[in-house]
Amino acid sequence: MIKGKTAVVTGSTSGIGLAIARAYAREGANVVINGFGDPAAIEAARAGIEAEFGVKARYSGADMAKGDAVVAMIREAEATFGSVDILVNNAGIQYVAPVEDFPADKWEAIIAINLSSAFYAIHAALPGMKARKWGRIINTASAHALVASPYKSAYVAAKHGIAGLTKSVALEAATFGVTVNAICPGYVWTPLVEKQIPDTMGARGLTREQVINDVLLAAQPTKQFVTVDEVAAFAIFLSGDMAKNITGAILPIDGGWTAA
C-alpha cells in the first residue's frame, strides 16, 4: 500500500517528523523532508534514509511560515516524483507566556507555521490525490487540540484549528479515496518540548525537574513520555488499507491525558 508512493513530511529534520519520514521510507516510500537546522546534519539524515532503506529522499528548505513556499514545495515534489500521495503536516513551533505578555510576532509565527502551513499544503496536494482516487493526509496536532494549558494561547488555538481543518477536509475528500486524520500526541521528548522547559520555568517559577515531573508528565497518567517511534507507527497504520475507513478522526496518543 505504501511502497512506491511519495510522502511529504513537513518539519521533519528532527524529532517526530524525522521518525515519521524514516518510517515511510522503511515501508518503501520515497520521501521529502523539510525543516530548518544544521545543513550537515540535514544532509546526513537525508542521505541516511536513502542508504538505509533504498528509496529516494529529497530535502526542501521551504519556510512553513510562507504560503507560497509551502505550495512550491508540493509542486516540486510532484515534479520530482510524479505525485504526492501522503502528506504529513508536522511542522510546528512553540512559545510560552501569559496571554497579556504574549508577543504579537510569536502569535503570528505560531499560527502561520502550526496551522496555515497545513492549509497551504493540503490546498496544493489534495487535487492530485482526488484525481488519483487515493491519498493520505495526516496532521500532527497535539493533546492541545482537545484540551488547553495555560500560557500557550497561540499553540492551543492553532492545534484546535488543526482539528477543525482535519474534520472539514475529511468530509470534502471522503468519496475520493482520501483520508484525513489528526494524530494528537501528548508530551513527546523532542527538541520542541525540551526548548519550552526554560520558558515554563520562568512563567511558573519552577525548577527544570518540577516542570518535567509536575507540569509535563503530570498531564499523562502513564507518567511516561510518548516516543517518536510510537507516533510514527501510528502514522503508518493510518496510511494502510486497514485504516481506509478512518477519516476525520482526532486521535490521541497521550498516555491517557485527555481521558481525564
1 within some domain:
no
How is residue 129 written as a grid cell?
490525490
What tens digit of pLDDT does each residue of 170-221 get?
Answer: 999 999 999 999 999 998 988 767 887 898 899 889 999 999 888 888 889 9
What tens digit of pLDDT does each residue of 231-249 get?
Answer: 999 999 999 999 999 999 9
Catalytic, 155? Answer yes
What tens digit of pLDDT does each residue of 69-101 get?
Answer: 999 999 999 999 999 999 999 999 999 999 999
pLDDT of the residue at 218: 87
What are the strands, taking DSSP E only, across 65-211? 86-89, 135-140, 178-185
| Model confidence, pTM | 0.93
92 within some domain:
yes
pLDDT of the residue at 216: 84
CATH code of the domain containing 71: 3.40.50.720
The residue annotated as part of the active site, out of 24, 59, 120, 155, is 155
What tens digit of pLDDT does each residue of 13-48 get?
Answer: 999 999 999 999 999 999 999 999 999 999 999 999
User: What range defines the domain where residue 96 resides?
Assistant: 6-188+226-259
pLDDT of the residue at 189: 83
Strand order of the β-sheet with 57-60 is 57-60, 30-34, 6-9, 86-89, 135-140, 178-185, 250-253
Q: How far apart are CA 96 and CA 200, in angstroms?
A: 6
Average pLDDT, the chain: 96
141 within some domain:
yes
101 within some domain:
yes
